[in-house]
Amino acid sequence: MDISVYRPGELSAADRAAWTAMQSKAHLHGLEELANPFLSPEFALAVGRCRRGVRIAVIRENGEPAAFFPFQRTATGVGRAIGLGVSDCQGLVHRPGFIWDARELLRACGLAIWEYDHLVAGQKPFEAGATGTFPSPVMDVDRGYDVYLRELRARSPSFLRSTWAKERRLKRDVGPVRYVHDERDPAVLRTLMGWKSAQYRRTGRSDRFAHAWITALVTRLFHTRSDPFAGILSVLYANDRPVAAHFGLRTERVLSSWFPAYDPAYGRFSPGLIMYLHMAEAAADDGIAHLDLGRGQKRYKDSLKTRELTVSEGWVTRRHPVAIAHRAHRAPVRALRNTVQSRPELFEPADKLLKRIGKIRSRL
């Protein structure tokens, strides 16, 4: 393999165009997962503006780009999937039939280890180091919104009835309801981030927006527009007040769910579910094939999904003391987290404890 490693600003316009073209044509070759916006050059370049150590490996065959591998690395050679912790899809974007040697790639990138937690399916050279696989629910709208609704109704007719009834009550009790699929007002984005921060604290989770780089990344992506990538802020209004909002990323065929939240004052109306149904309709009209809801077990995802993709977590390592030390440090934490999340008898009391801690903190 002919491998060149670049800083984000060094990537040529021709290479960026080739990367985008690979994603745009991926579905034609049974590689639909590669069209995810978290695998786009725009996401890699935005992370590069907000984090140190971002690099992009370009693998060429006969002088032409065959694959792109974005990653982050430390001075000691510890590598991570780009945006690890906020990225919902990771891996190597490649042309059909491309085969690579994972350890040779790591060596060329100066990495002793590469860690991932949302590896896209089908990347066998990386999957060899996977320690677990997880479902990532999606909402298929490629055959149109009406077909999507028919599938939901067949599986759970009460879900649609109750959600639409809540929308009618929202109109009656609060005021006219309208949905904006691509809101461009940055003040509404700040409102969403405020809701999400409060949700994290209320449920005892780590507040992502307490990290300046995540706030900067989301803001930068909100203002990013290219063909076909964009940051999309979708908002449900009632009586001209935002009651639910979502910020995600889109490519030509995929809209990735990222940061959904709602105003708790309107929680009895389930505004988030109402918003997602409107999102599905708008996405279908916009030519989107599916909405990727991301890894994680949530009741609302089970209600909205039509099927599941698979992502995995793990490491690719070389024989190197840095790799051994990093894996020894990280493996126990991951194993404990996954055990708790996969077993209801452990997860439910842990979740209740975190929420109790969140309530105590909110009173301080």
pTM for this model (two decimals): 0.89
Residues of the chain with pLDDT > 70: what percent?
89
Across the range 338-361, mean pLDDT stands at: 48
Rounded Cα distance, 77 and 109, in Å: 9
Confidence of residue 336 (pLDDT cuts 50, 70, 90): very low
Confidence of residue 357 (pLDDT cuts 50, 70, 90): very low
Across the range 342-357, mean pLDDT stands at: 48
Model confidence at 153: pLDDT above 90: yes
Considering only 78-82, 101-105, 219-223, 339-343, which range has the smallest mean pLDDT?
Answer: 339-343
Tell me what pLDDT residue 157 has. 87
pLDDT top residue among 235 and 339: 235
Question: If you write DSSP's letter for every residue of 45-109 in order, what string do you get?
Answer: HHHHHHSTTEEEEEEEETTEEEEEEEEEE-TTSEEEETTTTT-S-BS-EE-TT----HHHHHHHH
Confidence of residue 332 (pLDDT cuts 50, 70, 90): low
Confidence of residue 318 (pLDDT cuts 50, 70, 90): confident
The rounded Cα 357 to chain-centroid distance in angstroms is 27
Residues facing 262 on adjacent strands: 244
Other beta carbons within 10 angstroms of residue 162's beta carbon come to 13
The rounded Cα 217 to chain-centroid distance in angstroms is 13
Residues of the chain with pLDDT > 90: what percent?
84
Q: What is the pLDDT of residues 49-87, one digit of tens each?
A: 999 999 999 999 999 999 999 999 999 999 999 999 999
Q: What is the pLDDT of residues 193-243, one digit of tens each?
A: 999 999 999 988 899 999 999 999 999 999 999 989 999 999 999 999 999
Other beta carbons within 10 angstroms of residue 332's beta carbon come to 9
Tell me what pLDDT residue 184 has. 98
Q: How many CA atoms lie within 13 A of 84 on its CB side?
A: 20
Confidence of residue 280 (pLDDT cuts 50, 70, 90): very high
